Structure 1
């Protein structure tokens, strides 16, 4: 084995699943910063002291707030769920659950349940032929009965079922190994996507929770707008609302905060646990599951970094799944820009969450696994980020955000300019055959809107708005989602059509992203560049179809 397998990685950090040093083993990669100093023997004591002090302060404040709420105010928990004491109580419960999970549940409760309950039941279930498919089939029948009863007063709401059937059929027809399709994974993913939609879109409590979360994110991102006004002046930021100074300012704050969460290992824990849950739910390999969970928060170029040491050992099906997940979702750092165009924060978050299981199941439908998966759950360890300190992590986050903002500005200017150029050419060609009136000029939006009318109709959009939503999907697919969200903010759409449009364009599947995906993964796995170029277009289509399926479920569940 060579002395180094990655930047600043030492030999003692490279092990295989059984702890040996065999050269063929899949490496576990834990980067070591340059000039890293051995940890002080007092460091652990200091960290524990700080954590205990913070936890004690949280408990003291919660007790104080509880006393004040009961004795000095006349509010109720319902009225303060998203604004006052009720919201603080919810946060307090989550904090206690996190502490209990880390120190009690994870070590002492979950392993015995998994060993003595879950694994024996799973083994017994596998002995019965087609038991899993039968169980999933019953759930699908229950969902269908629910939809029939729920839409009894408006049968038009069942139209998106047609779209779901069409997109699944497309995935099946495009599959090169139809006999290897894991139908349990496909059905599990579809059921999980529907249940998430039911909880987050249709259920009043779930919808209110995510609406509250969306409002809090919006409030958090607005702090960046105030900071931007301090730097650039209130006239440019607050009064004129110039996009580069107003909307994009929030990206700095998001990247800044995410890097801090990475420094403390919080983000890695969240992503790894979500990935393990998706693996348990869908039966997909751990790397695909972790990547799909990461795509809820990160972009398609950031998520693979978590899997950097394992990428070169992945099968074609796993690579296809990683690319599909990247195309089917968006990065949390750019949600602020979409919100500034009028998109609902709650629906943007819901779309990212629903796309996680959908991308996994659809990628396995389009490109099933036929190779041996080398990277198992026991290989995966949390990766430590190369930050010297909290301040170093925060500063690097802000610096990375600057590159993201510059890239967004460059892409917007170039792509919008290209649209203007294409529209100019189309308008000129139209005038040569008699289309001279202002409302009849040929434009890219009008052509794409007409092409995608059947597509939007199967999602549940009313006929008179199908062309508008089709324009958004077309612009998102051939240009990018920024331009599509910008145009959506300028359109007069009904609330339901706007919701369906939001889900259908909330993804990175566009030509520019294809180049980003190939360059990012190509740098991580140079030995598999041919595999990447062979699979990327298929994954691009998969990402588009996942967004359309999510839009169909939103159409089914939105009255």
Structure 2
């Protein structure tokens, strides 16, 4: 017995020593990390002070000139430094010292408030129905605003009927009506409306988005420029061949994303953006981040940013990721649309407004019925095996090879299927005397979309033109639709308001080629869920198309005649 006690004592002592060593290692790690971050902040601050001295010396601190530099010059540096400084303050001051006190104070206040409310039936009722009260106040305010704002043109209210119709369609095709979280759906519509106000009616908001869009375009341009070396300038810059130009960004974004994951930066972005969207809409962290990333990066690059987490997503989350991809376009292709007559501000606004709407509509058609695994608490615990930053970067680039090959294969297959169906339809029509125009999928869907165009606010005599554009976008792609829109504008077939509504309606990647791209990309990223992707892709494609129509409805309602 004495021997066993001695052995147990030795084991306890060894455990205590090990725990003490682990604690010391953690302390040393935290100290080294703090010193390193402090050194980095010192260097950044010194550079900022130097830049400030140069700016004041050169311009005399002109505030007018400062406003002109907020996107590219010294003003942009001030904004970046502010974010960096806030990040350091948050980590070393707010998180350990301030937030715990505020959280405890809030919890104490909440407990006392609830105790008091239990004794006051009226206050208790308000708390129980607070969401309904918030919704009622918001929609009443919106109704009053629209009544006043549309006094010059009541036809601007027609798209509201379209918004209602599209929501009904989503409810009809929902796979689990009893599990729909209506708070998420309503908040998605609220955010879509608020984003519309900020970007359509507020110049500052529009300028901010324009600046962010330009920065993302600059980032993607690095991929375009680099691809000139292996492929040649002719294919990349002049001919702009899709496989050699647009898909080259997949290599660069995957390369960059892996480096950000290695240093833990992407995890913090995921938790920060995702937590906000989760708090507002009730959606999960990953699907929220995917929606936000797709605004600027597009359907291919957006999911890549979440690559380590995708296999842990539920079916509903995967549906949301795909819906976001189909409902928006990337900043890298907007220049092409602009060349056909679309306005840059409308294209950027369309993607911004579609971000919350994509989550809203996805949760309407495919509600969450599983347990969400990835939460803020365990987002950083997902294993990401990289031995070094160089290892992370090289794996990011090489892993993208399979993605690009899959995207090209899927795109060719689905477009070939559309061409085959069009040929069969043309042959069927020709046998009964319909050869001019030839029957095609886009022609048929163009006729179907005439009433859809009307409820989006398009004047009846221009509905067939917009329906044709939607049909082309849905059955071919949005590039061909924007090109056709440019031809219609030259022929005077589209009025100013119709042009704007059409731009919003066709500003999305919901087309057959994109189905192939999405399936191939996600199959490469999460091969274990290939069957889930195949099962959900058409539903999310349909949802993405209707999200574009919802965005067009809200834009048509908010857009006054004097800014068309």
The TM-score bracket by the shorter chain reads 0.7 to 0.9
1:484 is the counterpart of 2:481: no
Does the Cα contact within 8 Å between 2:290 and 2:321 map onto a contact in 1? yes
What secondary structure does 2:65 align onto?
coil
Find the aligned partners of 2:283 and 2:330 in 1 and give their Cα distance: 28
Larger-Rg structure: 2
Match of 2:75 in 1: 86
Unpaired segments of 5 or more residues in structure 2? 1-24, 118-122
Whole-Å separation in 2 of the counterparts to 1:412 and 1:375: 31
Separation in 2 of the partners of 1:516 and 1:487? 24
Bigger helix share: 2
* Alignment length (residue pairs): 507
d(CA) in 1 for partners of 2:463, 2:249? 32
- 1:387 aligned partner: 386
For 1:225, the equivalent position in structure 2 comes to 224
Distance in 2 between residues matched to 1:61 and 1:553, nearest whole Å: 45
Q: What is the TM-score when the length of structure 1 is the normalising length?
A: 0.76
In structure 1, distance between residues paired with 2:474 and 2:124: 42
Aligned equivalent of 1:65, options 43, 46, 51: 51
Q: 1:102 aligns with which of 91, 104, 110?
A: 91
List per-residue Cα deviations over 1:313-346 (Å, max 9, x = no partner). Answer: x5xxxx3354134223359996524544547776
Q: CA deviation at 1:381?
A: 4.1
Equivalent residue, structure 2, for 1:506: 508
State the alpha-carbon separation in 1 of the partners of residues 135 and 225 from structure 2: 50
Is 1:172 the counterpart of 2:171? The answer is yes
Distance (whole Å) between structure 2 residues aligned to residue 332 and residue 59 of structure 1: 38
Which has the larger displacement, 101-110 or 207-216? 101-110
Distance 1:217 1:149 in 2: 37
* RMSD, aligned α-carbons: 4.0
The answer (yes or no) to whether the contact 2:66–2:75 under 8 Å persists in 1 is: yes
Determine whether 1:441 maps to 2:427: no
TM-score (norm 2): 0.75
Q: Is the 8 A contact 1:193 1:357 kept in 2?
A: yes
Asked whether 1:120 is paired with 2:110, we answer: yes
Corresponding position of 1:193: 192
Gap runs ≥5 in structure 1: 1-38
Decide whether the 8 Å contact of 2:267 with 2:379 is kept in 1: no
Q: Deviations over 1:173-212 (max 9, x none)?
A: 3456656644333322211221122223331101000011
Indicate the residue corresponding to 1:12 in structure 2: none
Q: Is the 8 A contact 1:160 1:552 kept in 2?
A: yes
Asked if structure 2 preserves the Cα contact closer than 8 Å seen for 1:328 and 1:507, the reply is no
Distance 1:478 1:293, change over 3 A: same
Taking structure 1 as reference, are residues 521 and 166 closer, same or farther at Cα in structure 2, changes over 3 Å only? farther
CA contact (8 A) 1:275 1:290 kept: yes
Name the residue aligned to 2:549. Answer: 548
Query: Is contact 2:470–2:505 with CA below 8 Å preserved after alignment?
Result: no
Task: Indicate if the aligned counterparts of 1:348 and 1:506 stay in contact, CA closer than 8 A.
Answer: no
Counterpart of 1:420 in structure 2 is 419
